[in-house]
Amino acid sequence: MRHIQFIRSNTFLWALAVAATLALFVAGLFAFVYQKLDNYLIARSDRMITTQINFMSDLPHGRRVRAVADHLQQDSRHVHYVGLFSAAGTRLAGNIDRVPSGLALDGTVQGARLNPLEAAAGRGPIVRIVGRRLDDGDVLVVARNVDETREISSVVGQALALGVLPAFCLCVLAGAWLSARAQKRVEVVNQRVQRIVAGELRERLPEGNADDPFARLARIVNSMLDEMETMINALSGVGNDIAHDLRTPLTRARLALERGRTHAVTLEQLQEVTDKAIAGIDQSLAIVTALLRLAEIENSSRTAGFGNVVLDEILHEVCDVYEPIAEDKGVALGVVIDRSVQVWGDRDLLFEAIANLADNAVKFAPPGGQVELELKLDDGRALVRVSDTGPGINEQEREAVLRRFYRSDKIRNTPGVGLGLSLVAAIIKLHGFRLIIGPAPGGRIEIVADAAREGKTRCIPISDLRSRKREVDRTIRGRLDVGTCRMSETEFRCVTSSLVAGATASLLGSVNRLGMWEQ
């Protein structure tokens, strides 16, 4: 609950930050408008009073007074000021009391505060003012009120302020609303996840119809949950297989011991019984060992033991090991090597894989048949082909043979623990190679590998849920980055990654519990 509150305040901070940015932006806009307006009005006033003073200066002395009066009369808004003064400084005409002190009488425009006649008592208006000493010694002063600039500015300012206030409120409200909405959805998701954690693997997150990041995220998590559910079900299936295969020899051992205990009368009989029991236990042990080995390879993502492996050497070695066995069975074992090929991999594991394939091939080739280990370099890729003249693997069984403990019905009575090909598949996957099972009749299995190259081979064992999770994480992150709802992105990430992590951890826990047999 605490971190949900934290998120809420976080969202609010976001909203406040956006609102503050908006206010700042409006203030900046206002300053800009004010500045531009001010400059424009001053320039216009300056132009106007310069024209007027020029005009009046050019008039003959007698007409000037009239012109001043006329000019003031036409000014209904009382923004113009004119003063005509004698050389001594006495006012001859106009509405300016006296020549403002500090006014340069050379025709340059400047800003000043004016004391006109009517407003002698109060503060005069701020004006742009220009003065000039005329040829006959009189002084003419023309000014224009620029207070209206301030008025206009204040109007503009008010308008902007009126705009910014609702925008600010809207931001905060939107933040609150989004936060509340997200929180509600997180709460719903949280409840579902709690149920999943409690073991209800069929539960899914609500996806909704909208195409927002949350819905997309829910879909991603749901597809991950689908995958995991399938995996867990498959694992429990494997668990049953393992239980069956382990129990069979153990049952035999138990029966032998029980019967021996009651019926054996001589030492020889007892020893015979014990031998049987030991054989049964050894077979179960062999299965456990093979399973552990399989788990070891499947869960290994390390490529520490990787190096350049000369495949032709391995093939010769495998042939060397299996040659006498093949010969005993009357099977011709041969090696066909096109040229020397190197691949990047773990020598011991590759040897194990190829030895397993050869082992199978020799086992299934009929007496008088043939087994061939072939190495080719095909289009930059190494190709190891193990073929035999046995029954081969038919279409329906091709995938099944890679499963643990699968043993074709036709060959039920052939000894072996039925993990050979799963092991080969795991090794091949670890290397990032491909395993191709050729069509029957005649067994044919190919390993296709990229020829040696520097650097590491990519390897992500499918069963490694953690790498799966990383993938999902990456996808989620990728999706969120392009998400439109920027404001609550942080919160989405924070909540979902913790949810995904929690769910994954608990699911991994159940997988591990279910997979106890193997781990």
Partner 1 sequence: MTRILLIEDDTETAEAIVAELAERSFEVHWAPNGVEGLDRARTSHPDAMIVDRMLPGMDGLTVIEALRNDQIKTPVLVLSALGAVDDRVRGLRMGGDDYLTKPFAIVELIARIEALLRRPMDSRETILLAGPLELDLIERTARRGEREIDLLPREFRLLEYMMRRSDQLLTRAMLLEEVWNYKFVPATTNLIDVHMGRLRHKVDAPGEVQLIHNVRGSGFILRARE
Question: Which residues lie near partner 1 (CB under 8 A)?
Answer: 275, 285-286, 289-290, 292-293, 296, 320-322, 324-325, 328, 348, 352, 355-356, 359-360, 362-363, 415-417, 420
Least Å distance, CB 266 to partner 1, is 18
Tokens at 419, concatenated: 């993990």
Least Å distance, CB 248 to partner 1, is 17
Q: Which is nearer to partner 1, 168 or 364 (CB)?
A: 364
Least Å distance, CB 422 to partner 1, is 12
Task: Give CA–CA dist 297/305, Å, rounded.
Answer: 12
Q: Which is nearer to partner 1, 289 or 394 (CB)?
A: 289
- Binning the chain into helix, strand and coil, the percentages to the nearest 5 are 60, 15, 25
Least Å distance, CB 437 to partner 1, is 18
Least Å distance, CB 369 to partner 1, is 16
> 272 exposed, middle or buried (CB, 10 Å; 0-12, 13-18, 19+)?
middle
Least Å distance, CB 295 to partner 1, is 9
Peptide bond into 441 cis (omega under 30): yes
Q: Which is nearer to partner 1, 10 or 408 (CB)?
A: 408
Task: Give CA–CA dist 239/231, Å, rounded.
Answer: 12
Task: Give CA–CA dist 129/109, Å, rounded.
Answer: 6
Q: Which is nearer to partner 1, 113 or 302 (CB)?
A: 302
Q: Which is nearer to partner 1, 146 or 350 (CB)?
A: 350
Least Å distance, CB 385 to partner 1, is 20
Residue 295, C-beta contacts closer than 8 angstroms, at least 6 positions apart: 518, 519
Task: Give CA–CA dist 448/105, Å, rounded.
Answer: 100
In DSSP terms, 82 is beta-bridged to 142
Number of neighbouring beta carbons within 10 Å of residue 135: 8
Task: Give CA–CA dist 46/111, Å, rounded.
Answer: 10
How many helices (H) and strands (E) would you count in the chain?
10, 12
Q: Which is nearer to partner 1, 354 or 449 (CB)?
A: 354
- For the four alpha carbons of 341, 370, 444 and 325, in that order, the dihedral sign comes to negative
Q: Which is nearer to partner 1, 93 or 350 (CB)?
A: 350
Least Å distance, CB 270 to partner 1, is 15
Q: Which is nearer to partner 1, 425 or 472 (CB)?
A: 425
Least Å distance, CB 410 to partner 1, is 18
Please provide residue 334's backbone torsions phi and psi, each rounded to the nearest 5 degrees.
-135, 155
Structural contact between residues 506 and 196, judged by C-beta atoms closer than 8 angstroms: yes
Q: Which is nearer to partner 1, 215 or 281 (CB)?
A: 281
Segments in 106-209 forming alpha helices (H)? 147-197
